Amino acid sequence: MRSFEHFNARTMEEAVAILGRYGDRARVIAGGTDLLGKLKDEILPKYPEALVNIKSISGMDYIREDNDVLKIGALTRLEDIAVHPAVKQHFGALAEAAGRAASPHLREMGTLAGNICQDIRCWYYRYPNNRFPCLRKGGGRCYAIEGDNRYHSIFGGTVDDGCYAVHPSDTAPALIALDAVVRTTKRTIPLEDFFDVKVSATTVLDPDEIVTEFEIPQSPGKAGSHFIKFALRKTIDFAVVNCAAMILIEERKVASARVCLNAVAVKPYRAVKAEQAIIGQELNESTAEAAGESAISQATPLKDNGYMVQLAKIIVKRTILACA
Amino acid sequence: MTEKKLGPYQTLKQEGTYKIGYDKPTVDFKQIGKRGVRRYDGFEKASGKALYTRDVNLPGMLYAKVLSSPYARARMLRLDTGKAEKYPGVRAVLRYDDPAINGQELTGSIAGTTRMAPESAGWAMLPVKTILSDQAIFEGQMVGVAIAADTEQIASEALKLVKVEWEEQPFILDKEKALDSDAPKLISGADSNKIADEDRELTEQGDVEKGFQEAEEIIEFTARRDAHLWAGAELPSVVARWSGDKLEMWVHEQQPYLSKLILAEQLNIPMNKIHTHSLYQGCSFGERCNPSNWSQNGINVLAVLLAKKADRPVKLVLNRAEKFYGFSGDLMVSQFKVGARRDGTITAVQMNNLFANYMCTTGVEHLVENTKIPNLRCEGTTVFVNKPPAWWNRCEQLPNVFCQTLVFDHIADALGMDPTEVALLNDGCEGRDKSYLEDFQRENGFEPRDSLKECIAAGKKAIGWDENWHPPGTRQLPNGRMHGMAFTWSHDWDDTRGTGSAAVLIQNDGSVSIIAQHSDVGVNPWTTYMQIVADELGVRYEDIEINPFDLNVGFALMSPDGSCNLGSNGYVVKKAARKARRMLLDLAADKFDLPAEALDIEDSTVFEKANPDNRMPVKDVVKMAVPMLNAVGIWTEPPVLDWAWHTQGLWGMALETGRPRMCRQANFIEVEVDTETGEVCVTRVVNVNDVGKAISPETVEGQMYGGTYMGLGRALAEEMVWDPATGVLLNRNLLDYKYATMLDYPASDNIYIETGLGHGPYGSTGIGENTATMIPALLGPAVYNAIGKRIDDFPITPNKVLKALGKI
């Protein structure tokens, strides 16, 4: 790893100020579980000149039930979310997602904000020493299209530049299904609008903007939520496909539904067609199956990832059924 | 004719050469076979106090980095190291055109392996140098230049300043297309990518045509398997330090003595001037047992040359990604034809195996060694592809058990028979039925036991085979998944040619030292040596110590290069202990004023057999027996010390060596297959090994546990992924390359049987490699039994299962 300046910020204002001074030449570090790997491997053409540590800011690590919302501090570690009684009871999808992310060690380090701000997974993008200077690094082409794309997007690339790298977060689909919003040092953003696909960026955050808090509305009525992850190993892998859903059933019929897939597209993929397919229906094997079919109706798999379409269909079905 | 009187050398040789027959216990077992013996290296490893090669830090030490090829095949047209040489902190730059490298016969050249049989050299047979060549034949190959600098970071930064002008050349990754006439040839000017390996191109026994005529059922099928990575936890590492003309080395290897020999041959350094240390080691699994390998001798040579150039100690540690360039010797595709009679008797097996980069074993050997199948024919072809070296990886027997498992499972299925019955029917040796083994047992003092029958009975009972096994694709579970079971079997791992030597010294305070270098290979060997010495010598286990980290002591125990550890080394320490005991009793006889025969030793005390109250602690017996004592006027006696050498010496066909394999093993597995997602959930694994005699029961079980995880990972998830467009290894990290962890699969049920039929000490046989080698192929039959569709394409990943089921 190369050397860099390291600042232990004492307040969020100070962190923002340092970021402002460095522009795009600094990075925020909290758990560091994604960033340090990237730095060690030197995957990007430019190396940051400074890291701004925000773990040194107190009071950013909390889970609070506040009137009708659950508030989670940006620096709350994944493991703390996974085992929190209130999260487990009322926001099952998030507890499950946090508990299935990464590995036990990484969950003790990684934060919720870091999990949604993590970079894309693509073995070309992530190859050490910028061996493949791809579109997302400002290069001229995507190497995955002609290469091995068994873990790439089944829902197309970005319109602008043709990148097929997937967003790997486990908690992002859960937060979207739970209709969460994220607060930053500048604004409040619905989680669904938080993600972006740009050169050197996966979120809409400005270079000097930092996530501070999550707010999740208490589910209306008795909505159930669930999260399922399909990965090759139980312990540490990123998802091949994951899915979160929140479903409210009234008078035996689905009154509202939010279903979100991830790891299958360039950003979390809200399966609106699956939601439409079950709203107003009774929740059973056949309606869930139909929802699964609807979820993948717009899939356009690449040469190596056709199996992910089948997986997405089944995982959507099972996640929906598990919400009942 | 008068018998020739043997001189001291021939006497030693005769005493040390393995003699066929049951090695009967000569002492009562106290430590041997006992549970709860304190593991020799347990505290150090569990506490983090154990030191490994990369922990060595010497005053003034430099750190080295080596350039690696970004291309699967390319030639260096120009190498400009000017800027790197001037970079502050750089102390030595070694280029491919340095006279120490250029034109020398280093690793990768045929001449570099003169002491190794060519068939054992594998990748080293390649006629292209793989130490700092100007040619790359696989992406990631060490090429061009190595740099030693004050820090690792400086060395890395300096490497970035090296300018290389490459000529990229066409490459080939697909083994099945490597022999096409238009395939790029790996070796410039060669007619073909075929590697000549005459010894293994054809194996024949009997007459397969006749065998197929006698068959009532004939099946044909093709199977493929991807190799898996050879890596373990510890990174390839070496430290070299020159002091005048003396060289001190710290190496991470299974056979430091051989690596010293190769250094002597290649760099002309006298062996007696090389002082080698082998500290604790974080892995081996065979990767560290090819001394001529580029990541072994290769890094040794570079460290030695850089240390000479800089006149400073040099540490060279490859990084995690660099460790990924090498794989097991079973990157293969096999075509099978199997004939059998309806009663389950297999009459002929024909197989055609295509290997990439190295044919470790032909694939047919286990069918020869432990079946009565009379007619076998195996054709083998090896091709070059632009991938790194293939090598033994936790056993070169992978192709053999792969082929045996599939042959037996496919034919049992075609005959509609229980595979355990087909196994029992065809058990034997080199085309002969079990009566050959029974005769051998009788003639050589072994118990008359049917090892396979015992293993199968135990395994079937443990897994509930008779109640749960079913025809393929016929049992759906309440959870919706399909239930599957499978079984495979083979003989014991006793294919050793191990040779080793060790001394036993009784120190002046009565404590006992086993003196020998022995590389740490993680199978708890030292505990077992101490157990044997305790029982053979009559001393307390706690009184024994071994310090196996220094090759300069002169004695060296072999590590499992010949797939043998205790099987050979156990004899060495047993003999050394018995010889030391003779010395001790001889000395004691003087003290007791009795003949040595009248004395015995127990619990670290010498006593008179006829009058056990007449006793003396060992420490008092040896009170004056010292290697040296620096005190004028004190009377001393010579030390109590003796040493032994042993060679198993026998390897090959039973009919040639007179030593058939008699122990068997059986492995059972139960899976549930999710037919919607293609997920294969392993619910139970039962391993049954006839280990002959378990010296350390926990070690036996430990190997079975660990081997199960390794085997399941190989079967279901491990896969090296190459970019088809560039030939770059894409998943050279521990996230994308998927080793199984202990949380991924349930713990196995491990059963060991002790028939005493092994050729090792006390009738023991090997356990270190078997399970990991047996399990991978077994998943194919298990998934078939679950879903009724064959996936003879390993690893069996969800996409392949879904494809077999017609879901995609």
Q: Which residue has the higher pLDDT, B171 or B288?
A: B171
Nearest to B743 among A234, A306, A311 (CB): A234
How far is the C-alpha of A154 from the C-alpha of B214, rounded, in Å?
A: 53
pLDDT at B469 over 60: yes
Q: For the segment B250-262, what is each residue's pLDDT rounded down to a tens digit?
A: 999 988 888 888 8
Q: For the segment A181-222, what is each residue's pLDDT rounded down to a tens digit?
A: 999 999 999 999 999 999 989 999 999 999 999 999 997 677
Tokens found for residue B114: 């003169």
Q: For the segment B41-75, what is each residue's pLDDT rounded down to a tens digit?
A: 999 999 999 999 999 999 999 999 999 999 999 99
- Cβ burial of B692 (10 Å; 0-12, 13-18, 19+) is buried
Tell me the pTM.
0.95
Q: For the segment B401-412, what is each residue's pLDDT rounded down to a tens digit?
A: 999 999 999 999
pLDDT at B114 over 90: no
SS3 percent helix, strand, coil of chain B, rounded to 5, is 35, 25, 45
Give me the torsion for CA of A229, A230, A236, A237, rounded to 10°.
-120
How far is the C-alpha of B722 from the C-alpha of A187, rounded, in Å?
A: 44
As a whole-number percent, the residues of chain A with pLDDT over 90 amount to 91
pLDDT at A97 over 80: yes
- Measured in angstroms, the CA of B721 and the nearest CA of chain A are apart by 8
Give every strand in the sheet of A224-230, ordered side by side: A224-230, A241-250, A253-262, A269-270
Give chain A positions within 8 Å (CB) of B716: 232
Q: For the segment B125-143, what is each residue's pLDDT rounded down to a tens digit?
A: 454 556 788 988 899 999 9
B677 and A146 within 8 Å at the Cβ level: the answer is: no
Whether domain B445-494+659-808 has CATH 3.30.365.10: yes
pLDDT on residue B696: 97
A306 and B808 within 8 Å at the Cβ level: the answer is: yes
Q: Is B798 on the interface with A (CB under 8 A)?
A: yes
pLDDT on residue B287: 80
Domain boundaries of chain A, sorted by first residue: 63-117+167-323
Compute the average pLDDT of residues B151-156.
96
Interface predicted TM-score (ipTM) of this complex, two decimals: 0.97
pLDDT on residue A296: 98
pLDDT on residue B270: 96
Give chain B positions within 8 Å (CB) of A42: none
The residue of chain B nearest to residue A41, with distances taken between CA atoms, is B321
B678 and A307 within 8 Å at the Cβ level: the answer is: yes
- Measured in angstroms, the CA of A65 and the nearest CA of chain B are apart by 34
pLDDT on residue A161: 76
B678 and A127 within 8 Å at the Cβ level: the answer is: no
SS3 B746: coil
Comparing C-alpha atoms, which of A2, A6, A50 is closest to residue A25? A50
pLDDT at B642 over 90: yes
pLDDT at A117 over 50: yes
The bridge status of strand B202-205 relative to strand A26-29 is: unpaired
pLDDT on residue B107: 61
Is residue A135 within 8 Å of A162, Cβ to Cβ?
Answer: yes
B738 and A237 within 8 Å at the Cβ level: the answer is: yes
Q: Where in chain B is the domain with CATH 3.30.365.10?
A: 8-30+496-647, 445-494+659-808
**CA separation, residue B564 to residues B292, B298, B571 (Å):** 20, 25, 12
How far is the C-alpha of B286 from the C-alpha of B18, rounded, in Å?
A: 24
pLDDT at B456 over 50: yes
Give chain B positions within 8 Å (CB) of A1: 153
Give chain B positions within 8 Å (CB) of A105: none
Compute the average pLDDT of residues B495-501.
79
B808 and A310 within 8 Å at the Cβ level: the answer is: yes
Residue A263: CB atoms within 10 A of its CB come to 31
pLDDT on residue B198: 77
Q: For the segment B178-233, what is each residue's pLDDT rounded down to a tens digit?
A: 999 999 988 777 888 888 777 789 999 999 999 999 999 999 999 999 999 987 88
A123 and B731 within 8 Å at the Cβ level: the answer is: yes
User: pLDDT-based confidence at A16, cuts 50/70/90?
Assistant: very high
User: pLDDT-based confidence at B117, cuts 50/70/90?
Assistant: very low
Question: Which of these ranges, A168-177, B383-392, B446-455, B711-720, has the smallest mean pLDDT?
Answer: B383-392
Residue B338: CB atoms within 10 A of its CB come to 25
Is residue A167 within 8 Å of A202, Cβ to Cβ?
Answer: yes
Question: Which of these ranges, B490-494, B529-533, B708-712, has the smallest mean pLDDT?
Answer: B490-494
Q: What angle, 0 to 180 degrees and rounded to 10, lies between the N-to-C axes of helices B398-415 and B770-787?
A: 30
Q: Which CATH class is domain B8-30+496-647?
A: alpha beta
B798 and A311 within 8 Å at the Cβ level: the answer is: yes
pLDDT at B119 over 50: no
pLDDT at B110 over 60: no
Q: For the segment B232-288, what is each residue's pLDDT rounded down to a tens digit?
A: 889 999 999 999 999 999 999 988 888 888 888 889 999 999 999 999 999 888 788
Compute the average pLDDT of residues A69-87.
97
Give chain B positions within 8 Å (CB) of A307: 678, 798-799, 802-803, 808
Q: For the segment B720-751, what is each residue's pLDDT rounded down to a tens digit?
A: 999 999 999 999 999 999 999 998 999 999 99
pLDDT at B109 over 60: no
B728 and A131 within 8 Å at the Cβ level: the answer is: yes
pLDDT on residue B58: 98
**Which residue bears the tokens 């959930």?**
B681
Give me the torsion for CA of B29, B32, B34, B39, rounded to 10°.
150
A237 and B730 within 8 Å at the Cβ level: the answer is: no
Give chain B positions within 8 Å (CB) of A292: none
- Measured in angstroms, the CA of A59 and the nearest CA of chain B are apart by 33
Tell me how many degrees the CA angle B276-B277-B282 measures, rounded to the nearest 5.
135
**CA separation, residue B419 to residues A264, B456, B668, B785 (Å):** 42, 11, 11, 11
pLDDT on residue B560: 62
User: pLDDT-based confidence at A80, cuts 50/70/90?
Assistant: very high
Question: What are the DSSP calls for B612-647, one per residue?
Answer: EEEEEEHHHHTTTB-S----TT---B--EEEEEEEE
The residue of chain A nearest to residue B320, with distances taken between CA atoms, is A41
Is residue B375 within 8 Å of B751, Cβ to Cβ?
Answer: no
Q: For the segment B347-357, what is each residue's pLDDT rounded down to a tens digit?
A: 999 999 999 98
pLDDT at B634 over 80: no
B153, amino acid identity: Q
Is residue A198 within 8 Å of A279, Cβ to Cβ?
Answer: no
pLDDT on residue B495: 62
Q: For the segment B410-442, what is each residue's pLDDT rounded down to a tens digit?
A: 999 999 999 999 999 999 999 999 999 999 999
Compute the average pLDDT of residues A128-135.
94
B728 and A310 within 8 Å at the Cβ level: the answer is: no
pLDDT on residue B113: 39
- Measured in angstroms, the CA of B719 and the nearest CA of chain A are apart by 12
The residue of chain B nearest to residue A146, with distances taken between CA atoms, is B725
Give every strand in the sheet of A181-184, ordered side by side: A63-66, A69-73, A211-217, A181-184, A188-190
Give the architecture-level CATH label for domain A63-117+167-323. Answer: 2-Layer Sandwich (3.30)
Which residues of A have a CB under 8 Å from any CB of B? 1-3, 123-124, 127-128, 131, 143, 146-148, 150, 230, 232-238, 240, 306-307, 309-311, 314-315
Nearest to A307 among B731, B736, B799 (CB): B799
Q: What is the mean pLDDT of chain B?
A: 92
Q: Is B744 on the interface with A (CB under 8 A)?
A: yes
Nearest to A147 among B153, B321, B724 (CB): B724
User: pLDDT-based confidence at B295, cuts 50/70/90?
Assistant: confident
pLDDT on residue B292: 66
Q: What is the mean pLDDT of chain A?
A: 96
Nearest to B744 among A2, A234, A311 (CB): A234
Tell me the CATH number of domain B61-169+231-325, given options 3.90.1170.50, 3.40.718.10, 1.20.120.140, 1.10.10.60: 3.90.1170.50
Is residue B572 within 8 Å of B644, Cβ to Cβ?
Answer: yes
Among A118, A232, A317, the residue to mutate for chain B (most B Cβ within 10 A): A232
pLDDT at B166 over 80: yes
Comparing C-alpha atoms, which of B781, B758, B683, B716 is closest to residue B423? B781
Give chain A positions within 8 Å (CB) of B803: 307
Q: For the segment B649-686, what is each residue's pLDDT rounded down to a tens digit?
A: 766 788 888 889 999 999 999 999 999 999 999 999 99
Nearest to A148 among B157, B717, B724 (CB): B724
How far is the C-alpha of B209 from the C-alpha of B445, rounded, in Å?
A: 39
The residue of chain A nearest to residue B159, with distances taken between CA atoms, is A129
Q: Is B738 on the interface with A (CB under 8 A)?
A: yes
B706, amino acid identity: G
pLDDT at A298 over 80: yes
Question: Which of these ranges, A158-172, B16-30, B113-127, B740-754, has the smallest mean pLDDT?
Answer: B113-127
pLDDT on residue B357: 86
User: How many residues would you count in chain A?
Assistant: 324
Nearest to B741 among A123, A147, A233 (CB): A233
User: pLDDT-based confidence at B523, cuts 50/70/90?
Assistant: confident
Q: Which residues of A141-156 are buried (b: 16+ CB within 10 A; e: fewer)?
A: ebbbbebbbbbbbbbe
The residue of chain B nearest to residue A308, with distances taken between CA atoms, is B799
